Amino acid sequence: MSNTKKLRQPIVVVLGHVDHGKTTLLDKIRGTAVVKKEPGEMTQEVGASFVPSYIIEKLAEPLKKKIPIKLQIPGLLFIDTPGHEYFSNLRRRGGSVADIAILVVDIVEGIQKQTIESIQILRDRKVPFLVAANKIDRIPGWKANYDLPFLETIELQRADVKAYLDNLVYNLVSKLGELGFNADRYDRIRDFTKNIAIVPLSAKTGEGVADLLALLAGLTQRYLETKLRFAEGPAKGVILEVKEDPGLGHTIDVIIYDGVLKRNDIIVLGGINGPIITKVRGIFVPKPLQDMKLSKYDLYPIDEVYAAAGVKISAPELDNALAGSSLYVVENQNQIEEYKKQIEEEIKEIRFYSSDTAGIVVKADSLGTLEAIISALKREGIPIRLADIGPITKKDLIEANIVMNQAREYGIIAAFRVKTLPNIETGNVKIIYSDIIYQLIEDVKKYITDVKESEKRKTLENLILPGKIKILPGYVFRRSDPIIVGVEVLGGIIKPKYPLIKEDGKRIGEILQIQDNKKSVDRASKGMEVAISIKSNAMIGRQVNEGDMLYTDVPKEDLEILVTRYSSTITDDMKEVIKDLIRIKRAEDPLYGLGLQI
């Protein structure tokens, strides 16, 4: 190798909502690249497609007046396994191996739930991104001009079609603004470090694909130059997927993002039961074919590979390898313990158990997806007791059962692309399965909310709530046990079986029944005028009089539960009643209501 500075190709990942055209766009990029290629210069790699810089320059030729481009990077390496689960595995400690991302959005449908999830993962991993505003060919009145750059095809459209497109782009700009990003159509941006570029295109017709590739290449070369500097030395990579391949046994698909990987190298990687140290038996890439549509197993061996690249590695003891784990080549034996410790610490941050936490159990199929799910749950404020890789075990069910007895709403298992081990009784534990991250989070949130609401209803039904009533003068129907009077509810709530006290704190009896317009009701609230019967030894005209104020006799424990756990149910009028009750009850109990924030 020469001593001149060399840039490695940027690693590009494609994300977006289901059916917004991720795969179609990748296919179009690959197909366009194949058409423009020179003999023997197109390469395909496991889990990735490499588009050389000269192809990008050819495609961008019509744009040279508006996007001057001369590339030093070898090209762009597209990770062509679109989907959150694979992108989640493109992780390394503190970030992602992806240099830049394309966020595919259907320009007509706009930003959806899974788009927002993609943005959140990109934000978490600190990955810059462009927006591919796909399906411009579906805009009413759009005239398709196959494979033309966007800046050319837009000039061939009618004025009303241009205006319609501008409105759709503005909608994307507004939504991205709500999510905390400045954005605009790419040809209207001066500083790409401060604005997200939106590239209108059609993966179907190829319009705008040249603009996207030219912008990706130019931006990564300009803004990520220090990150892209070619690094010699032992390889570093991340495991995209673990597979069992006929004739090879267990293999790992790996993205090498730094250094050089050679056959017979010793590698350290994460395993289900701890770090795995093994020797590279074989490195494989697909055979170079004209149409790039390759058989899964049409691979040929190579002796070494330079970053960045996607390869399949065969080696002993890979059956327990962890997708999403880092992979390091060991240059000398002294580094083995150092790398083992690094991997152990990295995995420990994601796979954890906290016996003190009343939280949910999370099980996922890879480190990357587990990390993304944990991050999403933490944003929602959902506590986690146990997070791990692999199928649901008896231990997981025991942990969920323990939590269920402490906080029923969290006694659940959230399972992403994993199942329960055979012959295990799940009992009363709720297991929520999904293979879409945002759907799993939504389902967990809904279950927790539903259980909390159910528990709240049950608890509130058993609490004596604060209430204040006035005996209406002229509405005494029976003076002694049971007293029957007309009352106005001045604040809070009254219900049958609630005990009543006077303003001096003395108990006068218990509500037997409430009637509103001669119909029995189970409660009365502020502003209602109702008749009530009171089981009481007191008499109207002696211990109690017309015009007197009466209060529900709320036990100290009930008041504490109401204020600390269900403060959102306390109305303004109920707050005033609570203040009166604290004043009345403290004559007997100085600790009543002490420390409560009313």
Segment 535-552, tens digit of pLDDT: 999 999 999 999 999 999
Decide if domain 11-228 falls under CATH 3.40.50.300: yes
Tokens 């493109």 -> residue: 90
What pLDDT does 288 receive? 55
Its pTM stands at 0.79
Q: Find, among 154, 259, 263, the residue nearest to 202 by Cα.
A: 154
Please state which architecture CATH assigns to domain 351-455: 3-Layer(aba) Sandwich (3.40)
DSSP summary character for residue 248: T
Would you say 524 and 494 are in contact if contact means Cβ atoms under 8 Å apart?
Answer: yes
**How is domain 467-585 classified at the CATH fold level?**
Elongation Factor Tu (Ef-tu); domain 3 (2.40.30)
From residue 258, how far is each of 195, 228, 328 by CA, in Å?
29, 9, 10
Q: Please, are residues 445 and 382 in contact by the beta-carbon 8 Å criterion?
A: yes
How far, CA to CA in Å, does 416 sit from each of 85, 411, 424? Answer: 10, 17, 18
CB atoms within 10 A of CB 554: 25
Across the chain, how many H-helices and E-strands are there?
14, 33
Q: Where do you find CATH 3.40.50.10050 in the chain? A: 351-455
- Three-state SS for 212-246 is HHHHHHHHHHHHCHHHHECCCCECEEEEEEEEEEC
Three-class SS of 456-489? HHHHHHHCCCCEEEEEEEEEEEECCCCEEEEEEE
CATH hierarchy code of domain 236-348: 2.40.30.10
Three-class secondary structure of residue 149 per DSSP: coil
| Dihedral (Cα; 588, 590, 594, 598), 10-degree rounding | 50
pLDDT in tens, the chain (598 residues): 344 556 788 999 998 887 888 888 888 887 766 556 554 444 566 778 888 888 888 888 888 776 667 888 888 999 876 566 678 888 887 788 999 999 999 999 999 988 998 898 899 889 999 999 999 999 999 999 999 999 999 999 999 999 999 999 999 999 999 999 999 999 999 999 999 999 999 999 999 999 999 999 989 988 887 777 765 789 999 999 999 988 899 999 999 999 999 999 999 999 999 999 999 999 998 765 333 344 454 788 999 998 888 999 999 999 999 999 999 999 988 899 999 999 999 999 999 999 999 999 999 999 999 999 999 999 999 999 999 999 999 999 999 999 999 999 999 999 999 999 999 999 899 999 999 888 999 999 999 999 999 988 888 899 999 999 999 999 999 999 999 999 999 999 999 999 999 999 999 999 999 999 999 999 999 999 999 999 999 999 999 999 999 999 999 999 999 999 899 899 999 999 999 999 999 998 999 998 888 8
The 3-class secondary structure across 359-412, one letter per residue, is: CEEEEECCHHHHHHHHHHHHHCCCCEEEEEECCECHHHHHHHHHHHHHCHHHCE
Q: Which residues are catalytic?
A: 84
Give start-end residues of each CATH 2.40.30.10 domain in the chain. Answer: 236-348, 467-585
At 246-298, the pLDDT tens digits run 889 999 999 999 999 999 999 999 999 999 999 999 999 876 533 334 445 47
d(CA 342, CA 346): 6
| Alpha-carbon gap, residue 144 to 378, rounded angstroms | 45
Q: Is 205 helix (H, G, I), strand (E, B) or coil?
A: coil
Position 170: which residue type?
Y
pLDDT of residue 6: 60
Query: Do 105 and 173 meet the contact criterion of CB atoms below 8 Å apart?
Result: no
* Identity of the amino acid at 449: T
Distance, in Å, from the CA atom of 115 to the CA atom of 274, rounded to the nearest integer, reads 34
Is the preceding peptide bond at 482 cis, omega within 30 degrees of 0?
A: yes
Quick one: tokens of 148?
A: 């033309």
